[in-house]
Structure 1
Amino acid sequence: MYSAGARSVIDSEGRGHAPEAQVKQKTIYVNTRAVQIEGHEISFERLVELAYPGSHGDEVTFTISYTDGPEGHESGSLTPHHSVEVKNGMIFDVIRTVRS
């Protein structure tokens, strides 16, 4: 789910809710799309769902790289079942590959 402006917010686990004054929102970019999230980290699986919603067969693999991360982790890659600390403005590239 992508948000438009401040109308809705998704947390790093994919739960949607109305914005609140106390919620610390961050804008990240997933395959060039701005996404509002809350929380301090986001998982590989959540990023895949944001980039390519729906189910995927065993022949599909994903590669995730990021830039503009927090100090000490400005860029890198993310592997399945791992998370990364997020920073406002962080950029994620999620690449889908179909094995033949």
Structure 2
Amino acid sequence: MKNEKKPNKELSIVVNGREKTVSGKTISSDELVELAFDNPPTGEFICFTITYRKGHGNKPDGNLAEGEMVKVKKGMIFNVTATDKS
């Protein structure tokens, strides 16, 4: 039997109270910002706070810093907040 890669299955997650469908085993902070906002706020002093819960067993909840990734699982809940750090 060949060692073929399985296509990434689609998972349903919740971002800022809205159900979203993603594929892949991980998701990045940038991808979450794109899912959370149709037009993400921009500016020199804008930063994003990302929290999650209902994640994998070893780390079911936590924070995601800019540039980080987290393993996704069906039903995971993400909250993405834009903050002006001025």
Asked if residue 74 in structure 1 is aligned to residue 60 in structure 2, the reply is: yes
CA contact (8 A) 2:11 2:73 kept: yes
Structure 1 residue corresponding to 2:11, chosen from 23, 26, 29? 26
What's the counterpart of residue 32 of structure 2? 47
> Which of structures 1 and 2 has the bigger CA Rg?
2
Normalised by the length of structure 1, the TM-score is 0.73
Secondary structure in 1 aligned to 2:35? helix
Structure 2 residue corresponding to 1:83, chosen from 55, 69, 74? 69
For 2:36 and 2:48, how far apart are their aligned partners in 1? 10
For 2:8 and 2:33, how far apart are their aligned partners in 1? 24
Higher relative contact order (CA 8 A, sep 6+): 2
Secondary structure in 2 aligned to 1:80? coil
Structure 2 residue corresponding to 1:38, chosen from 18, 23, 39? 23
Cα deviation, residue 53, structure 1: 3.4
Cα deviation, residue 99, structure 1: 3.0
CA contact (8 A) 2:52 2:78 kept: yes
Cα deviation, residue 52, structure 1: 1.9
